[in-house]
Structure 1
Amino acid sequence: MRIFGSKKKDGEEEAAAAAASSSEAPDEHTRLLPNRLDSEARFLNADDPAVSPYNLWNVRLARFLTIIFTVVTFAWWILQLISAFVTPPTVHTRGAAFYSFGYATVSLLLLLATLLFFAVPAKSVRLLCIIMSVLLLLDIIVSLAVERVRHEERWVGIVSTAWTFLMSLWAVLVDRIVKWGKAEEEERLTGRPETRRTLGEWSEVAASSIIVLILDVTVFLMTLNLILRSIDTGLGAPGNRYWVDGDKYQIHVYCHGNKTDASGTELPTVLFEGGEEPVENGLWQFADAAVENGTISRYCFADRPGFAWSDNAPSPLTAGMASDALSEALVEAGEKGPWVLVSAGVGTVYTRIFSSRHGREVDGLLMIDPLHEDLLDRVASSRRGFFLWLRGVISPLGISRVSGAIFKGRSRGDRVWGRSITSDGRYLLAKLQENLVADSLSKREVISSKRIQNQKTPLIVISSGEKIKSDGAWQEKQRDLSHLTQNLIHWDIANHAPHEVWKVLEGRALIEKRLKQLVHGN
């Protein structure tokens, strides 16, 4: 009876132990199957949804961190997107904001692709991410090593590049973690790691590889463009750069010639303002020739923010703010009037504001096919603004600039101030800033300048005959601008000249003739 009672007691203890064991909370290794070394264990099919790397806590942690990084990157991407339109405090790049926005876009797309194809690791993706990280590391080195690039990008561009570099390494690490977790769970739950892939998995591998390959090509082009920018920094500015607006950015000022002519007579300095393009692209050569033949004795010009050797200014930037920056740069350069102001196209808007604020220092105004304030809506059209922004977004790829350098032999001068400048991100940002406020803030400023303009200032207007013939409204507004002051000397029409009047012989001769009248007073 004792033996029987003892056996009964042992059975009850075993049952209680089994019940206690079954009541324990299962963990990631016990909730599906017993230990795989148990000979009586039954394995799952490889296609069973329970066979998943998400069973492991470190895989889930990697996904959680990827989501966190994606949210942070998205917030940074939004900040860079906004900065082209309204620059937040301390987030100003002296180069185009499009470069840091480009790197932020690459890192955001890479993280989204990592999340989308998280459970399907691929060797091709890892290899492509490693290539990307090498290119990004080169970008970081160049950005830090080249002084001018470092000056333009500031901490914003360097942080964007470094973050993208770290995210490319993170994508490699995540892919490795998921690959290990997938093999671990397949061996535990099915008895062996699965080497085959379903059609759906192969499709995901192909899609993720194509996306990362496109990002690799994007980074490669950005690297080439960055190298090209670094090479262009070797083209020294002819003048000097001066800090303006509380040392936020620099304006390039160049002056040439003497204050007096050959007879010792002191003459006013001619201050040139470019139109749609920098002064260097046409008017600079004209000014040099005018000094050589004695038409003028001395001239200066300054690049507007984002043009040629000048830094980009924070957004928004109005015509009045740009004129104030010019005034500040001239003072820093030690340049004083009297001035004869020569401007063209949209540049006449800036000159008119400058003239109204420096009335006693201005001895004459010569406007070449000027833009009337009533036509600023053409500059401010939403369609034009959208395409400027779109071209700015793709400008970090440098497709036109790199191909021009390789296949067309374009020089550094072409890229800094010449034919290739229209595809440069800094120039595109400057034109976008102009577009955003042209028909609002800038228009109000130029209308105000009209009211306080010194009416005794000598005025000459030279209009494009081709522009007048093709645009009736343009002719009417040219006539109106000829009454800007009460001292109109001449209103000339260069019959066969385009909008850039100085680009034809007839236009150059007319400009030189009228400029000589203003400078010499005859």
Structure 2
Amino acid sequence: MKRFWAQRDTDSDRIGQSPPPPGRTSEDHAPANEHTRLLPNRVDSTPYLSPDDPAVSPYNLWTVRAVRWVTVAFTCLTFVWWVLMIVSNFITPPGLHVRGSPFFAFAYASIALLTLIVSLLFFSVPSRLARILSIVNAVVLLVDAVVILVVPGLRHAEIWAGVASAIWAALMAIWFVTADRTVQWGKAEEERRLTGRPESRRTVVEWVEIMLSTIVLTVMALVIVLMTLTLTLRAIDSGLAPPGDRYWVDGDRYQIHLYCFGNKTDAAGTKVTTVLLEGGEDTVENGLWQFADNAVRNGSVRRFCFADRPGMAWSDSAPSPFSASMASDALSETLSRAGEEGPWVLASAGIGSLYSRVFSSRHGDEVRGILMIDPLHEDFLLRTGAPGRGFILWFRGVISPCGFDRILGALVSGRRAVDRVWGRSSYQSGTTIFAKLQESLVADSLTKRDVVSSRAIQDKDTPLVVISSGQQIRRDRDWEDKQRDLSHLTTNLQRWDIVDDAPHRVWDTVGGREIIEKRLKELVR
């Protein structure tokens, strides 16, 4: 009797409750979370879905979705930084001036952006090999950041923009590993919950995606290793001490290297005339320096000075745009900070003659003579500023952090720091390429305007000597006409010499050196 009433009470408790539908349990009424099924079974007869069902996806988990949105946010932020870095190759944004080569910071920004793009493109297909490659990239990038911070020369050149770009690239490589590992976990979690076991098979499309991501990350790893080797060479080169001193200019934004040799006064205490050298397409150190040393030993001149233009040899890069008048201002400030007052005889070569002419027009009282060695005429600046030449320089700058030629030169040809800083390999330097790019960008606009204006205000009584290359004149008839025009820069032409067998670098021949030294001696004495 008691058992009857107990069964009756139990049945009465169930009155008003609807029974669970077939194939469902009372647990299915609980709120869905990451550990419960988000979607109902499509076949009531089985508790699991097919592994190929689209519902089996790591995107079912809010953690995976959140990681993807964070990756998208990082990509947008990195893209903005990448745009700023590519703009700085042409026009320096405020606060983003790099005293070395801006191409290194741009390279690190490109690596960070490409890492995030690969992560988004292959987000749902995690790969262990991709994670290993990304870990390697992150470690090497962190080593680069440490090297930049530890080596004073690199820290001075890259300042905060280069350091931040390297660290950000390393962090994005670490984030790639984090995101890929999270997707791997989410994929296994959803497959275990919805299909009963983790899926070990991969489709053909997934294998293709894994192959593509592996190839891209492998290429990136090779590029990063090459950049590290180039950075090592730069660290070695930064230990090469300049022969003179470096002076802050332009509100202490960058430094210009200046070297002077000889006494400022003679035995009677009178100021001697100083030859102020201006290099052409190459640095002054690469040829003219040795010539000037010999001229002092021979007694032809008593004293000489030269300053490297921004980006050349030991001078820092200047912000863009950078025209001839800005170069003249930087030179004037450098000489003033060094206590150099002249009087000067300006000796320049090639395109450097344009810079000397602007300087002469602004310091007429201090200039005792002008000697131009196969000078470039302002009408030829159209060639210097040609778009094709500018694109080639920019492309060379973009790949310069890889340092293919510099690394091979050091390992195979035995090139030393002097070769890379101012010698025969200096044209491979990112700072030199950037200086040439700056020169090209404003050659036919700002610089040409500066040179034309300087010609109008040039002191017409200044003694002038022009020494031309016979090879250049025979090769280009227009070159001869422009050399003749430059011989009328002032009304006090002393000599116009044509060295028959000399190339554009006239001092490379014995006859050229003899003519240059003889004319300098006449101007100085």
Identical aligned pairs, as a percentage? 56
User: Aligned pair 1:74/2:79, yes or no?
Assistant: yes
Tell me if structure 1 keeps the 8 A contact 2:37–2:194.
Answer: no
User: Aligned pair 1:254/2:259, yes or no?
Assistant: yes
Cα deviation, residue 97, structure 1:
0.7
Tell me if structure 1 keeps the 8 A contact 2:471–2:503.
Answer: yes
AA at the equivalent of 1:13: Q
User: Aligned pair 1:100/2:105, yes or no?
Assistant: yes
Taking structure 1 as the reference length, what is the TM-score of the superposition?
0.95
Cα deviation, residue 200, structure 1:
1.3
User: Aligned pair 1:32/2:34, yes or no?
Assistant: no
Q: Please give the alpha-carbon distance, in whole angstroms, between the structure 2 residues aligned to 1:500 and 1:512.
A: 14
Cα deviation, residue 295, structure 1:
0.7
1:491 equivalent among 474, 481, 496: 496
2:303 equivalent among 273, 298, 304: 298
After superposing the two structures, state which structure 1 stretch, 326-335 or 252-261, moved more: 252-261
Cα deviation, residue 43, structure 1:
1.2
Q: Please give the alpha-carbon distance, in whole angstroms, between the structure 2 residues aligned to 1:336 and 1:264.
A: 15
Q: Classify 1:6/1:124 alpha carbon distance in 2 versus 1 (closer, same or farther; 3 Å).
A: closer
Q: Please give the alpha-carbon distance, in whole angstroms, between the structure 1 residues aligned to 2:348 and 2:263.
A: 21
Q: Please give the alpha-carbon distance, in whole angstroms, between the structure 2 residues aligned to 1:10 and 1:192.
A: 37
After superposing the two structures, state which structure 1 stretch, 125-134 or 362-371, moved more: 125-134
Q: Please give the alpha-carbon distance, in whole angstroms, between the structure 1 residues aligned to 2:326 and 2:26.
A: 79
Q: Which residue of 2 aligns with 1:438?
A: 443
AA at the equivalent of 1:325: A
CA offsets, 1:47-73, max 9 Å, x none?
111111111111111111000000000
CA offsets, 1:309-361, max 9 Å, x none?
00000000011001100000000011111000000000000000000000000
Q: Which residue of 1 aligns with 2:18?
A: 14
After superposing the two structures, state which structure 1 stretch, 3-12 or 69-78, moved more: 3-12
Q: Please give the alpha-carbon distance, in whole angstroms, between the structure 2 residues aligned to 1:81 and 1:170.
A: 24
CA offsets, 1:383-416, max 9 Å, x none?
0000000000000111111110011000100000
User: Aligned pair 1:52/2:63, yes or no?
Assistant: no
1:482 equivalent among 479, 487, 504: 487
Cα deviation, residue 31, structure 1:
2.7
Q: How does 1:46-195 map to 2 (within 5 A)?
A: 46-195=51-200
Tell me if structure 2 keeps the 8 A contact 1:33–1:43.
Answer: no
Three-state SS of the structure 1 residue aligned to 2:124 is: coil
Q: Please give the alpha-carbon distance, in whole angstroms, between the structure 2 residues aligned to 1:147 and 1:249.
A: 15
Cα deviation, residue 19, structure 1:
12
Three-state SS of the structure 2 residue aligned to 1:435 is: helix
Taking structure 2 as the reference length, what is the TM-score of the superposition?
0.94
Q: Please give the alpha-carbon distance, in whole angstroms, between the structure 2 residues aligned to 1:83 and 1:106.
A: 17
CA offsets, 1:66-106, max 9 Å, x none?
00000000000000000111111111000111010000000
Q: Which residue of 2 aligns with 1:378?
A: 383
AA at the equivalent of 2:148: S
> How many equivalent pairs are there?
515
CA RMSD of aligned residues (A): 2.1
User: Aligned pair 1:241/2:224, yes or no?
Assistant: no
Tell me if structure 2 keeps the 8 A contact 1:67–1:115.
Answer: yes
Three-state SS of the structure 2 residue aligned to 1:13 is: coil
Q: Please give the alpha-carbon distance, in whole angstroms, between the structure 1 residues aligned to 2:31 and 2:73.
A: 30
Three-state SS of the structure 2 residue aligned to 1:278 is: coil
2:315 equivalent among 299, 310, 313: 310
Q: How does 1:441-520 map to 2 (within 5 A)?
A: 441-520=446-525
User: Aligned pair 1:358/2:368, yes or no?
Assistant: no
User: Aligned pair 1:325/2:336, yes or no?
Assistant: no
Q: Please give the alpha-carbon distance, in whole angstroms, between the structure 1 residues aligned to 2:226 and 2:211.
A: 23
Three-state SS of the structure 2 residue aligned to 1:223 is: helix
Cα deviation, residue 506, structure 1:
1.3
Three-state SS of the structure 1 residue aligned to 2:157 is: helix
Q: Please give the alpha-carbon distance, in whole angstroms, between the structure 1 residues aligned to 2:13 and 2:156.
A: 84
Q: Please give the alpha-carbon distance, in whole angstroms, between the structure 2 residues aligned to 1:11 and 1:106.
A: 68
Three-state SS of the structure 1 residue aligned to 2:18 is: helix
Q: Please give the alpha-carbon distance, in whole angstroms, between the structure 1 residues aligned to 2:129 and 2:474.
A: 61
Cα deviation, residue 264, structure 1:
7.3
Q: Please give the alpha-carbon distance, in whole angstroms, between the structure 1 residues aligned to 2:230 and 2:346.
A: 36
Tell me if structure 2 keeps the 8 A contact 1:33–1:189.
Answer: no
Cα deviation, residue 14, structure 1:
2.5
Cα deviation, residue 481, structure 1:
0.2
